[in-house]
């Protein structure tokens, strides 16, 4: 049975990166499509959203090699995927609509801000600096800091500890089902802003809200501020 979280005054906001803050899911899809195409396979958007979206590069590479029977070691697969992604990123990467506005609102109103990403630190920090939003975050947590990636709650629990903030005062922003499950399992309120896939009903029930834009989060937090 899905239990809704009580409303507490939000004091810290934890962001996912890919598909939530930056418009990168399409790039990830293209990267994996190119990889499997080289070996005579095809990956559809549906396959990507159901099996790879929201998960760490390591999780995805193990799945990719097994699901498509690729003649690669894990290390070779990671190196190949990084090389393809680097080429795709040469064209630049964009922030999601209203991402900067939301970060500015949070900083102006003294919220604690964190990032909990399934990405590697090198890749994520490079993207944060390229998009000029690295200065907004109080702490960063990456896949290499946890034993189990999303949908395990480990990365969010670790991030709340870094923030020195009670779970009840944190709010997680996610775009993927894996992220929603991780937040729910961590007993932290989560709002979903879907990217390439709307969450299935069983995951939608785990969220506090589902919005179409990050701008809606500002309105939500303004209302939340009135909660005593």
At the fourth CATH level, the homologous superfamily of domain 12-23+93-224 is HAD superfamily/HAD-like (3.40.50.1000)
176 or 5: whose pLDDT is higher?
176
| pLDDT greater at residue 167 or residue 92 | 167
pTM score, two decimals? Answer: 0.85
Model confidence pLDDT, tens digit, residues 8-43: 689 999 999 999 999 988 899 999 999 999 999 999
**Where in 134-200 does DSSP place strands (E)?**
139-141, 170-174, 189-192
Closest CA to 53 of 68, 80, 31, 84: 31
Q: Could you give the 3-state DSSP secondary structure of residue 195?
A: coil
Mean pLDDT of 114-137: 95
The per-residue pLDDT of the chain, averaged, comes to 93
Residue 103 has pLDDT above 70, yes or no: yes
Domain 25-89 top-level CATH class: mainly alpha
Bridge-based pairing of strands 139-141 and 170-174 is unpaired
Q: Please tell me the distance from the alpha carbon of residue 175 to that of residue 190, in angstroms, as a whole number.
A: 10
Q: Is the pLDDT of residue 227 over 50?
A: no
Res 182 pLDDT > 80: yes
The domain spans of the chain are 12-23+93-224, 25-89
């Amino acid at each position: 049975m899905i239990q809704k979280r009580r409303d507490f005054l939000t004091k810290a906001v934890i962001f996912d990166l890919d598909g939530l803050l930056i418009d990168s899911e399409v790039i990830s899809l293209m990267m994996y499509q190119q990889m499997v195409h080289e070996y005579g396979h095809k990956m559809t958007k549906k396959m990507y959203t159901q099996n790879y979206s929201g998960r760490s590069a390591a999780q995805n590479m193990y799945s990719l090699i097994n699901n498509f029977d690729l003649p690669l070691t894990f290390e070779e697969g990671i190196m190949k995927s990084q090389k393809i992604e680097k080429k795709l990123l040469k064209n630049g990467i964009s922030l999601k609509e209203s991402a900067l506005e939301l970060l500015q609102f949070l900083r102006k109103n003294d919220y604690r801000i964190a990032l909990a990403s399934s990405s590697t630190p090198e890749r994520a920090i490079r993207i944060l600096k390229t998009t000029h939003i690295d200065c907004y975050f109080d702490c960063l947590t990456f896949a290499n800091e946890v034993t189990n990636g999303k949908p395990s709650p480990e990365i969010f629990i670790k991030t709340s500890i870094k923030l020195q903030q009670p779970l009840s005062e944190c709010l997680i922003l996610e775009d993927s089902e894996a992220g929603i499950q991780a937040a729910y399992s961590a007993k932290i309120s989560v709002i979903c802003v879907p990217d390439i896939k709307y969450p299935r009903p069983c995951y939608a029930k785990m969220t506090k809200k589902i919005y179409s834009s990050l701008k809606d989060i500002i309105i939500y937090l303004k209302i939340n501020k009135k909660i005593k």
